[in-house]
């Protein structure tokens, strides 16, 4: 992809996972309301490619998105316990502003950072904790309707529906990535649920790169590594995007760390 890619929320964890692995491979525009320190900025990105602005501000977004062919939209309030006024503004209004600007700017592909919390209520009492264990074969595959855990999850489900609308009515290619639990270096410790939905940094970067390179219409897929423990299928991501994850939370056992950058 030769034309610029707009990455919102670039200063945050998911943004940094992406930039750390593929930060020098694309012509990025980086938009965040927080300033980006030089240690977070990939080589080759100069000050002109960094936009300090808010995704709820149409003028800020318009300036950053001009000339871009693809968008990776991460910016928002990521807290599962976030209050309604924050998710309404940052996640729902911000995402609608992004979609509207993307259509206006002629963007072709839009990857939206959705969440496991859009579907957390499938984790019923009768299914857990077996669901989180390697021998359990229950799977969500992205075709099921949202069942949010919390108001944050409601905001993510709403972002997915906004994507459906902008795909159906404006022809934008949209992929909703229901991200699991991104942690740096190793999977969450003493947290079975987190190990079942672990997404390593390098698999995260690879997955979003596939969102830039693959051809798709409207997809909802799960963003987790190839964990032995899993209740999210990654077949949808493999088929729609060519996702080929390298990591597995089962390769980590307490202090027995497997070598390699994740
Ligand atoms: N980290 C994880 O495991 C998961 C993350 N996600 C989603 O991925 C996205 C990124 O999450 P993280 O990187 O973990 O969060 P983060 O809090 O580390 O990064 C979010 C970034 O977005 C920026 N931001 C927030 N509201 C903004 C606004 N209105 N305008 C401009 N910038 C704004 C913040 O300044 C921050 O740099 C979020 O949408 C989150 O809901 C979903 C599932 C799991
Ligand atoms: O959507 C998100 O999910 C992850 C994992 O959820 P958790 O409830 O198991 O912590 C969370 O860490 C992240 O902040 C959030 O944005």
Task: Give, as one character, the DSSP assignment of residue 257.
Answer: P
Helix, strand, coil abundance in the chain, percent, nearest 5: 40, 15, 45
Residues with catalytic roles: 152
The rounded percent of the chain whose pLDDT value lies above 70 is 96
Confidence of residue 13 (pLDDT cuts 50, 70, 90): very high
Q: Answer whether residue 261 shows pLDDT above 80.
A: no
What is residue 46's predicted lDDT score, i.e. its pLDDT?
87
Percent of the chain with pLDDT over 90: 93
Tell me the ipTM for this assembly: 0.99
Residue nearest to atom 6 of ligand 2 (CA): 181
The closest alpha carbon to 13, from 98, 99, 94, 74, belongs to: 74
Q: Please report the domains of the chain, with CATH numbers, ordered by start residue.
A: 5-251 (3.40.50.720)
Continuous segment of H or E residues that includes residue 154: helix 151-170
Residue 9 Cα distances to 33, 99, 164, angstroms: 8, 15, 22
- 152 assigned ligand-binding residue: yes
Among 6, 7, 12, 81, name the best residue to mutate to test ligand 1's pocket (greatest count of ligand atoms within 8 A of Cβ). 12
Closest-CA residue to 1 (of 211, 242, 238): 211
Q: What is the largest CA-CA distance in the chain?
A: 53
Angle at 76 between CA 72 and CA 82, to 5 degrees: 150
| Upper half-sphere CA count for residue 11 (Cβ side, 13 Å) | 15
Classify residue 161 as exposed, middle or buried by CB count within 10 Å of its CB (0-12, 13-18, 19+): exposed
Q: Give 204 Cα–ligand 1 centroid separation in angstroms.
A: 14
Tell me: the pLDDT tens digits for 203-260? 999 999 999 999 999 999 999 999 999 999 999 999 999 999 999 999 996 555 555 5
How many angstroms separate the alpha carbon of residue 47 from the centre of ligand 2? 31
Q: Are 82 and 61 in contact (CB under 8 A)?
A: no
How far does residue 81's CA lie from ligand 2's centre (Å)? 10
pLDDT digits (tens, 9 = 90+) for 25-67: 999 999 999 999 999 999 989 899 999 999 999 999 999 999 9
Both structure tokens of 231 = 């209740």
CA angle 80, 13, 211 (to 5 degrees): 95
pLDDT score of 204: 98
């Amino acid at each position: 992809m030769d034309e610029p890619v707009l990455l919102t929320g670039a200063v945050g964890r998911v943004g940094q996972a992406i930039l750390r692995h593929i930060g020098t491979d694309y012509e990025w525009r980086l938009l965040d309301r927080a300033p980006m320190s030089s240690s977070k900025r990939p080589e080759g990105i100069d000050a002109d490619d960094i936009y300090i602005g808010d995704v709820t501000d149409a003028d800020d977004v318009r300036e950053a998105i001009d000339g871009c062919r693809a968008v990776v939209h991460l910016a928002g309030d990521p807290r599962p316990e976030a209050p309604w006024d924050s998710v309404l503004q940052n996640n729902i209004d911000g995402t609608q502003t992004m979609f509207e600007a993307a259509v206006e700017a002629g963007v072709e592909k839009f990857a939206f950072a959705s969440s496991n919390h859009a579907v957390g209520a499938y984790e019923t009492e009768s299914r857990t904790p077996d669901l989180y264990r390697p021998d359990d074969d229950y799977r969500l595959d992205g075709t099921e309707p949202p069942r949010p855990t919390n108001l944050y999850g409601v905001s993510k489900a709403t972002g997915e529906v906004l994507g459906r609308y902008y795909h159906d009515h404006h022809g934008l290619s949209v992929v909703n990535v229901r991200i699991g639990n991104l942690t740096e270096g190793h999977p969450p410790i003493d947290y079975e649920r987190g190990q079942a939905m672990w997404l390593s940094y390098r698999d995260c970067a690879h997955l979003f790169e596939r969102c830039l390179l693959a051809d798709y219409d409207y997809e909802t897929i799960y963003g987790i590594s190839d964990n032995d423990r899993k209740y999210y299928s990654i077949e949808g991501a493999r088929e729609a995007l060519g996702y080929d994850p390298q990591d597995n939370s089962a390769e980590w056992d307490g202090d027995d760390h497997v070598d390699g950058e994740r």
